[in-house]
Protein backbone atom coordinates (compact mmCIF):
# COMPACT_ATOMS: atom_id res chain seq x y z
CA UNK A 1 0.00 0.00 0.00
CA UNK A 2 1.36 3.40 -0.93
CA UNK A 3 0.78 6.63 0.97
CA UNK A 4 0.97 10.10 -0.51
CA UNK A 5 2.79 12.93 1.24
CA UNK A 6 -0.51 14.32 2.50
CA UNK A 7 -1.39 11.11 4.31
CA UNK A 8 0.30 10.25 7.55
CA UNK A 9 1.15 6.58 7.99
CA UNK A 10 0.94 5.47 11.61
CA UNK A 11 2.45 2.10 12.34
CA UNK A 12 1.29 0.98 15.83
CA UNK A 13 4.50 -1.01 16.29
CA UNK A 14 6.76 1.97 15.56
CA UNK A 15 6.36 2.90 19.20
CA UNK A 16 8.47 0.78 21.53
CA UNK A 17 6.30 -2.08 22.79
CA UNK A 18 6.92 -4.82 25.32
CA UNK A 19 5.20 -7.24 27.66
CA UNK A 20 6.17 -7.41 31.34
CA UNK A 21 5.08 -10.08 33.84
CA UNK A 22 2.75 -8.78 36.57
CA UNK A 23 -0.04 -10.18 38.78
CA UNK A 24 -3.49 -9.97 37.17
CA UNK A 25 -4.62 -7.41 39.77
CA UNK A 26 -1.94 -4.95 38.55
CA UNK A 27 -3.28 -4.85 35.00
CA UNK A 28 -5.49 -1.76 34.44
CA UNK A 29 -9.08 -2.09 33.23
CA UNK A 30 -9.21 -2.24 29.43
CA UNK A 31 -5.53 -3.24 29.57
CA UNK A 32 -4.18 -5.67 27.01
CA UNK A 33 -2.25 -8.67 28.35
CA UNK A 34 -1.21 -12.19 27.42
CA UNK A 35 -1.74 -15.37 29.41
CA UNK A 36 -0.40 -18.72 28.16
CA UNK A 37 0.22 -17.17 24.73
CA UNK A 38 -3.32 -15.81 24.27
CA UNK A 39 -4.13 -12.09 24.08
CA UNK A 40 -6.86 -10.81 26.43
CA UNK A 41 -8.46 -7.49 27.40
CA UNK A 42 -9.21 -6.97 31.11
CA UNK A 43 -12.83 -5.95 31.82
CA UNK A 44 -13.12 -6.20 35.62
CA UNK A 45 -11.13 -7.18 38.69
CA UNK A 46 -11.61 -10.89 37.89
CA UNK A 47 -12.63 -11.17 34.22
CA UNK A 48 -11.13 -10.68 30.78
CA UNK A 49 -12.17 -11.52 27.24
CA UNK A 50 -10.26 -12.76 24.22
CA UNK A 51 -9.12 -9.85 22.07
CA UNK A 52 -10.15 -11.61 18.86
CA UNK A 53 -13.44 -13.03 20.21
CA UNK A 54 -15.02 -10.52 22.66
CA UNK A 55 -17.88 -12.91 23.45
CA UNK A 56 -15.48 -15.40 25.16
CA UNK A 57 -14.96 -14.40 28.80
CA UNK A 58 -12.63 -15.95 31.35
CA UNK A 59 -12.13 -15.62 35.11
CA UNK A 60 -8.71 -15.00 36.63
CA UNK A 61 -7.30 -15.03 40.14
CA UNK A 62 -5.79 -11.73 41.22
CA UNK A 63 -2.52 -13.60 41.75
CA UNK A 64 -2.34 -15.16 38.26
CA UNK A 65 0.81 -13.93 36.54
CA UNK A 66 0.09 -12.35 33.18
CA UNK A 67 2.21 -10.38 30.74
CA UNK A 68 1.02 -6.77 30.61
CA UNK A 69 1.33 -4.78 27.38
CA UNK A 70 3.28 -1.54 27.72
CA UNK A 71 4.21 0.98 25.07
CA UNK A 72 6.57 3.90 25.20
CA UNK A 73 7.50 6.52 22.68
CA UNK A 74 11.24 6.88 22.25
CA UNK A 75 12.73 9.92 23.99
CA UNK A 76 13.98 11.73 20.90
CA UNK A 77 15.44 14.60 22.93
CA UNK A 78 18.20 12.26 24.19
CA UNK A 79 19.08 11.03 20.70
CA UNK A 80 21.92 13.02 19.16
Asked if 43 contacts 49 with a C-beta cutoff of 8 angstroms, the reply is yes
pLDDT tens digit string along 36-68? 888 899 999 999 999 899 899 999 998 899 888
Phi first, then psi, for residue 45 (nearest 5°) are -70, -20
Q: Where are the domains of the chain?
A: 21-72
Please state, in angstroms and rounded to a whole number, the distance separating the CA atoms of residues 55 and 58.
10
Mean pLDDT of the residues in the chain: 75
3-state secondary structure of 25: helix
Do residues 35 and 64 lie in contact, with contact meaning Cβ atoms separated by under 8 Å? yes
pLDDT of residue 5: 40
Quote the pTM value. 0.64
15: pLDDT strictly greater than 50: yes
Amino acid sequence: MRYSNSQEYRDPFYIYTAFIDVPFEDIPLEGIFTYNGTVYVKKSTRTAFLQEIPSRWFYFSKYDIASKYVSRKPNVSKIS
